[in-house]
Structure 1
């Protein structure tokens, strides 16, 4: 009996020890699990915070980028947003149209420098309200007493830029050799003038004091316009 009681007590003590060991292992496992669970949570919180920071940073960059982005204008060139196209404005503001016949006061005068060099000056005054260009050669025909019209050829000269503000004048001339024999083959009565780059013509009287043309109308030349300043 005594031995049986001692064995029983020993068995109970062993069972108790095993129970405590098991409890200690479970606690360690649970603590580890708890720590493991808290680690992802902490990482998630950090990631979320980082994402919020990135989102704010991205929003700020987006705003700055919008203000400084370049965008193509209608001409395909890049301009800073909100500034417009300065080049287009400059081109439009500098554009000058050709003078219209209806805006020009035109007359012809004898300007021969001597008795052998015939010259007729034709003046065109800008009576319009805007600046215009009279650059180039005017179209000129001379009408004869026999009612024929004869085109005048261009002289050997290069056109000069001729810009007329309101009230300004341009001038061009007809040049020929004066016939002093009285045997001229021409009897001019009118000068038909079409300003450069125009289609409308005005008729001017041939100056009464101008000398007779030596030869034929093919010996007369017209020169390009220039300003009187």
Structure 2
């Protein structure tokens, strides 16, 4: 009976040793393996973001500068300009050049300017600027004498004529020359004078201040002559 108990005890000890050895081998294998749980739970690294594009440099000298409209109109101001900016204009009517003298802006008068002993009579016609600003008179005015036989147009003398600026409230004169009636006959009676400023179509009718008659002439052409603007002096 004792022999059987010892054998059973020996078997139990051997079985315990074998179980311990198996457990130690499992533990070793577990300890040498990498920690799978840590690998799975680690967050993935974020992808690198693309660099933001750099803003283009302003050619206007700052964000608050206003652009210029090449057409000369309005230009829109930049950030911080507070609204619209108007481009500086050079324009058209900004040249400062005076317009031609209009008939309605001129006071026109005529006076006898004949000097004793002259072979011809002379009438001086004066144009005074009563307009709001300066104006330009160029070359010759138109002159017609009214006579009992009809209208007689004066011919230009041919003197060199330019243009001149007639300032406000100033005047300029030109001369009309005509033959004197020394024949002793009745001649051709003069009834009036018509003056048209240079470049204008509106005329002014005046009383004739010179001799009452012209000599009767034969042939073509007019013996009445008109000088250029300024040919009879300039008044104040």
Decide whether aligned partners of structure 1 residues 152 and 62 sit closer, same or farther in structure 2, where only a CA change above 3 A counts: closer
**Is the CA contact (8 Å cut-off) linking 1:150 and 1:217 kept in structure 2?**
no
Instruction: Name the counterpart of 2:8.
Output: none
The alignment partner of 2:201 has SS state of: coil
- Asked if the contact 2:123–2:210 (Cα under 8 Å) also holds between the matched residues in 1, the reply is no
Q: 1:220 aligns with which of 210, 216, 224?
A: 224
Give the structure 1 partner of residue 80 of structure 2.
Answer: none
Normalised TM-score (structure 1): 0.64
More helix by share: 1
Does residue 115 in structure 1 map to residue 118 in structure 2?
A: yes
Instruction: Tell me, in whole angstroms, the C-alpha distance in 2 between the residues paired with 1:83 and 1:11.
Output: 96
Name the counterpart of 2:174: 172
- 2:205 alignment partner in structure 1: 203
Q: 1:67 to 1:22 in 2, by over 3 A?
A: same
Report the equivalent of 2:81. none
Q: Determine if contact 1:112/1:210 at 8 Å carries over to the other structure.
A: no
Partner secondary structure for residue 68 of structure 1: coil
Task: Answer yes or no: is 1:94 the counterpart of 2:111.
Answer: no
1:74-111 per-position Cα deviation (integer Å, ceiling 9, x unaligned): xx34787635434227x347253433333322122333
Structure 1 residue 124: Cα displacement = 0.8
Kept after mapping to 2: 8 A contact 1:194/1:200:
yes
Point out where structure 1 has 5 or more consecutive residues left out of the alignment: none
1-structure distance, mates of 2:160, 2:31: 119
Q: CA deviation at 1:174?
A: 2.5
Please say if 1:15 is aligned against 2:26.
yes
Q: Alpha carbons of 1:69 and 1:20: their partners in 2 closer, same or farther (altered >3 Å)?
A: farther
**Superposition pairs for residues 1-12 of structure 1, below 5 Å?**
8-12=19-23
Question: Aligned to 1:193, which of 192, 195, 207?
Answer: 195
- How far is 1:178 from its partner? 5.6
- Per the normalisation by structure 2, the TM-score is 0.63
- Aligned-CA RMSD value: 4.3
* Count of matched residue positions in the alignment of Structure 1 and Structure 2: 211
**Higher Cα Rg: structure 1 or 2?**
2
Aligned CA distance change for structure 1 residues 23 and 109 (closer, same or farther; 3 Å): same
User: What are the superposed Cα offsets for residues 105-143 of structure 1, whole Å, 9 maximum, x if unpaired?
Assistant: 212233356623554321011233433333343222111
Give distance in 2, aligned partners of 1:189 and 1:169. 26
